[in-house]
Structure 1
Amino acid sequence: MSVARAAAGALAMLVAAATATAAHADTLGEVRQRGYLRCGITESGPGFSFVNAAGKRAGFEIDHCNTIAAALFGGLKVQYVLTTPQTAFTLLQSRGIDVFPAGATWSFSRDAALGLDFAGVYFIDGQGFLVRKRSGVQRVADLAGATICVAQGTTLEQNLADYFHRRRLKYRPITYGDADKALEAYQADRCDAVTMQRAALAARAAGMADRGQHHILTEIISREPQGPLVRQNDSRWRDIVFWALNVRVAAEELGVSQRNVAEMRKNSPNREVQRMLGVYGNYGRALGLSNDWAFNVIRLVGNYDDVWRRNLSPIGLERGPNRLISQGGAMLALPFR
């Protein structure tokens, strides 16, 4: 009898634990009850995440948060939670934020070991270097023996070590807590170069008073596929984040933009457009959302090109690999069918 009781007790504990885990995994329920999205962001500079002249948060990262909120609520109900690439993962794991869409590179260790899941790729970048023009450095190989500022504990640091090791080049890394501190150290002449993703370099360097005295090397030492992060074992929430960002690419591919979305919803004969915009089928209900969720995303935030032109074109970034696959890039929209 005691063995039976023990077995029954153990089973009850397992069931209780499983039930608690399932309940704890319902991010959508938590967000709806709270009434707004808690979205992790970084201070990555103009074009990506910054406070504009009107005193409001703006940028490519911010529009990812707005995209998810638009899908959820039909409005931009977002609390932006400031974090860093070093602390964002812990904050997400501890449920301090619901999603971190601010440019984490999709790597094996992050995907397999952190208890987090990536929800697609929305931006492809590469790691580059900012150097002083007077240094005469034109290629990465010219940095042999140089001191290089880099953010500690990031893929940037590992990419740098891997690249120089493979080519048997010596260098001296000087590490800092985040990318902004690394750039400040470079500006203070404490290193010969600073390295980070080229888009981030362009955004941060745009604010330098002596910007004309520096240049970004054309070479890159890595490919950085970036996407939003969510907690593992919450497939419905991952699907919502994935499809909310995917719909912007799909909309561009289908010719639906922030400017014409209302007209397209009313008059487009294309069945895929009708499904996407909630005119036909129940493609919102499958996600636990209203059927007009994608219409709200495009109406309030725009398609991928709208978001790019608003945020990244002003700082001089070309789309490159972030063009649609039909235009020679790598952005591929999954179909609405």
Structure 2
Amino acid sequence: MGRRATGFGIWTAAVAAVALLVACGKQDAQAPETPSTTTVAARSGTGAVAESATLTAVKRRGRLNCGVNQGLVGFAYTDNRGEWRGFDVDFCRALAAAVLGDADAVRFVPLTAENRFQALADGRIDVLWRNTSWTMERDTTGNLSFAGINYYDGQGFLVRRALDLSSATELTGARICVQSGSTSALNVEDYFRSRGIEYRAVVLPTEEAARQAYGREDCDAFSADVSALAAARTTLAEPGQHVILPDIISKEPLGPVVRRGDEQWTAIVRWTQNALILAEELGVTRANVAAQAEASRDPRVRRLLGADGAFGSRMGLTDDWARDAIGSVGNYGEVFDRNLGSQSALDLARGLNAQWNARPAGLIYGLPVR
């Protein structure tokens, strides 16, 4: 044990503490009034947090600005009535519901692969939810932060059935349509170079342009994420005359991107996405979320839906933030089935995007709320 403090020692410590408080007060008085990139105002209560600059901006304007694909069936596109639909679109709506209590309080900003990151850096959007792959270069350079993974994809090849191909290794000398400003061209180069196969890249400015070039037979194959190839096939005149080869040449973990430096906003995006994933695991659906919030005895469900604990306030949100998000679009499985799975034109199997405890198991794993 240390020595007992003397009266002089206590008096000295008190003087030092007062001096420190005075110094801090002077620094605060000289600090700029404009919000920093991380915080603007402290919240009170249990688990109090400092509110993020992005969250403050979203609340002030009463609308979320969400960057999405210009038009990719299944992920982000406008229907015949001009309404935005898709997997990524639903996650944007869930985030708006979690933050503002209104899934319709969102402005969708269509972006190309080449201008998506600049739009985020410039502040034109609050979050980028546009089938974007999490790579080391993107994560360690620039001003980007990935908030999670909501879809596990991989790059493949779409070819005409008439070519009677069974593998991409048979594409010797082929013309391959790829999109610029993405990882697709680099993945194709790696794949064919490592195998000593000659090919010719036909690089187009957008994914739509690449799809159209393939449709005009300006190339022999179209290479992109398998989900994008499935979407492209639905737009062709005779979808049944085109096949996706079994070769998967890359790993493409897709997820939302935010500006680096606003950790609170990053957490809000991450946990909103996680709420939908965890809801599926726990059996919480769009239809039963209200009843579950009122009557469930499962402590995991009660924490998720705000019946127990104060987890929302720790992020600067209401404690029923997850209930609002799930009630607006449903759980992860509902969002998947409606846009990409059995209830959609794409009819994609869950595969890697099945829950971790499904049979067969996938990679989707809900983080615990506790």
Q: Taking structure 1 as reference, are residues 286 and 85 closer, same or farther at Cα in structure 2, changes over 3 Å only? A: same
1:317 paired to 2:344: no
- Displacement of 1:21 in angstroms is 4.3
Q: Secondary structure in 2 aligned to 1:131?
A: strand
- State the alpha-carbon separation in 2 of the partners of residues 53 and 320 from structure 1: 30
Aligned residue in 1 for 2:172: 144
Letter in 1 for 2:121: Q
Letter in 1 for 2:69: T
- State the alpha-carbon separation in 2 of the partners of residues 176 and 67 from structure 1: 33
Q: Give the aligned length.
A: 326
1:62 paired to 2:89: yes
1:224 paired to 2:252: yes
Partner residue of 1:109 out of 129, 134, 137: 137
What are the equivalent positions in structure 2 for 1:158-307 lying under 5 Å apart?
158-307=186-335
Partner residue of 1:326 out of 357, 364, 369: 357
- Displacement of 1:23 in angstroms is 6.0
- Displacement of 1:136 in angstroms is 2.0
- Displacement of 1:22 in angstroms is 4.4
- State the alpha-carbon separation in 2 of the partners of residues 53 and 261 from structure 1: 30
Aligned residue in 2 for 1:125: 153
Aligned residue in 2 for 1:48: 75
- Displacement of 1:42 in angstroms is 0.9
- State the alpha-carbon separation in 2 of the partners of residues 290 and 17 from structure 1: 26
- State the alpha-carbon separation in 1 of the partners of residues 39 and 339 from structure 2: 38
Percent of aligned pairs with the same residue? 39
Kept in 2, the 8 Å contact 1:105–1:227? The answer is yes
Aligned residue in 2 for 1:33: 60
TM-score normalised per structure 1: 0.93
- Displacement of 1:68 in angstroms is 0.6
Q: Secondary structure in 2 aligned to 1:205?
A: helix
Deviations 1:48-92 (A, max 9, x none): 112223431111011011011010011120011111121110000
Letter in 2 for 1:336: V
Deviations 1:212-252 (A, max 9, x none): 22111122101111110000000000000000011011001
Letter in 1 for 2:97: A
Q: Taking structure 1 as reference, are residues 154 and 291 closer, same or farther at Cα in structure 2, changes over 3 Å only? A: same
- Displacement of 1:18 in angstroms is 10
Deviations 1:247-278 (A, max 9, x none): 01100111111121111111110111101101
Q: Secondary structure in 1 aligned to 2:247?
A: coil
TM-score normalised per structure 2: 0.85
- State the alpha-carbon separation in 2 of the partners of residues 291 and 263 from structure 1: 16
Letter in 1 for 2:365: L
Q: Secondary structure in 1 aligned to 2:132?
A: strand
Aligned residue in 2 for 1:7: none
Further displaced range: 122-131 or 50-59: 50-59
Listed as ranges, the gaps of 5+ residues in structure 1 are 1-10
- State the alpha-carbon separation in 1 of the partners of residues 58 and 143 from structure 2: 20
Q: Secondary structure in 1 aligned to 2:357?
A: helix
Letter in 2 for 1:334: L
Q: Taking structure 1 as reference, are residues 299 and 23 closer, same or farther at Cα in structure 2, changes over 3 Å only? A: closer
- State the alpha-carbon separation in 1 of the partners of residues 192 and 31 from structure 2: 51
Q: Secondary structure in 2 aligned to 1:102?
A: coil
Q: Secondary structure in 1 aligned to 2:286?
A: coil
Partner residue of 1:95 out of 116, 123, 126: 123
- State the alpha-carbon separation in 1 of the partners of residues 33 and 209 from structure 2: 43
Letter in 1 for 2:252: E
Letter in 1 for 2:198: K
Kept in 1, the 8 Å contact 2:311–2:319? The answer is yes
- Higher relative helix content: 1
Aligned residue in 1 for 2:24: none
Letter in 2 for 1:305: G
Two-structure CA RMSD over aligned residues (Å): 1.9
Kept in 1, the 8 Å contact 2:38–2:263? The answer is no
Letter in 1 for 2:54: T
Kept in 2, the 8 Å contact 1:146–1:192? The answer is yes
Aligned residue in 1 for 2:9: none
Letter in 1 for 2:256: P
What are the equivalent positions in structure 2 for 1:75-86 lying under 5 Å apart?
75-76=102-103, 77-86=105-114
